[in-house]
Amino acid sequence: MNIKIASKRIFNRYEWYFLSFILLLALSTHLYSSWGGLIWTIDSNTYWTASRNIINEGKLTAADGGAYVFWPPLFPITLSLFSESSYYVFHSFSFLLGLFFIYRFLKLKYSITLSLMVLSVYTLTVYPYLLSSFLWTEVNFILFLYSGLYFFQKWNMDENNHKYLMLAGILFCLMCLQRNAGVFIMVGLSIYSIVLYFKNKDFKKLFSTGSALSISVIPVILWNINRRILFPEEYYIYQQPFLADFLKNFKMVSNELIRLVLPTDTGLNSYIIIILLSIIMMSIIYKKENSLIITLITTYIFLFITLPLLEKSEIGRFLAPIIPLIILQTISSSKYYIIKLDNNKIKNALILFFSIVLLYNIVRTVNNVEQWNYRSVHNPKSAKIFF
């Protein structure tokens, strides 16, 4: 029996065993990393203080008593429903459910084998625990993002079942109210939908999808407009020229993406490397089943780069929600090249290279999880991000 067919049958037969093991390993790593409780940063203190102000004063204000701007309101509202200990339980559940929906979304478009492989690699990288170890918004953001994508894809597969589109719209709305970056995802989905439905001349579905996506993003747009009108003095960072920090942001984002493969800061060479890799990836693998993934990745990264100067230490945090999609594209690209190659020596060299890359990511994860565990146990509210 062909090895490829045999392995496919094994993964299909024992799918839920493999998935359960991956989720259990991820949950165990998260619990160890945050053993003393979630770690706080300046942002964490802002979120938590705002949530306590809701409880004590009945209004949403910042840590200094001023206006709560730059962030959407959902996270502090959510925190206001919990104590620290009870939120930790909710946070851990959201983390696990987010991983589950990453898998469910991938499985709708790809094989069980590939979906399990992507989820496995993602849970071996540092990024899920970078998010889950801190009192940040991204864990819930990822849950809303991938559950929304799951139901959005279900709608694409069964356009007569409008409950899927409605569920996707609600989850995307929550995603945007969790983090402003949700708008970047919505832009990507809009571009994808316009191209797909115009190409198929399915204007009825384009109207339905466009209406749902528009309604989903309206609340966060109104929130930001309201904040800007009421508190214009707080928006001083937006007074600089548009795209003023584009190249600096591009360099930092490129470096972070390269750090998935190499433990180094490549400096100016990162421009060339990331552009070449992107061109190769998109030109070779831009198939119908990959178009949504590539559109989301490129739109999300491009719009992040257009923002005012980002903090280098938080680039990984910003990119973490789309890392599963980047891993998917990397594995798809690698499989494409390896299958096409006739030279066994080159094939083996590539397999060895990716094995080393995976080992490097595991070592990086272990190193950071150990540090986060120590910080969580001994000094959780005065933490460095590491990683």
The answer for residues whose C-beta is within 8 angstroms of residue 329's C-beta and 6 or more apart is 281, 285, 290, 293, 294, 297
List the domain boundaries for the chain.
Answer: 3-219+322-378
Taking all residues of the chain, what is their mean pLDDT, rounded to a whole number? 86
CA distance 351 to 346: 9
Which residues share a beta bridge with 164? none
Of 244, 269, 241, 243, the residue nearest 254 (C-alpha): 269
Q: Answer whether 0.85 is exceeded by the pTM.
A: yes
Q: Could you read off the pLDDT of 355-372 as tens digits, one per residue?
A: 999 999 999 999 999 999
pLDDT digits (tens, 9 = 90+) for 275-324: 655 655 555 445 556 788 989 998 999 999 888 888 888 899 999 999 99
Q: What is the band of 341 on the pLDDT scale with cuts at 50, 70, 90?
A: low
Backbone angles phi, psi at 243, to 5 degrees: 65, 20
pLDDT at 172 over 70: yes
CA atoms within 13 A of residue 161's CA, in its CB half-sphere: 11
- At 178, the pLDDT band (50, 70, 90 cuts) reads very high
Range from 32-36, 75-79, 233-237 carrying the lowest mean pLDDT: 233-237
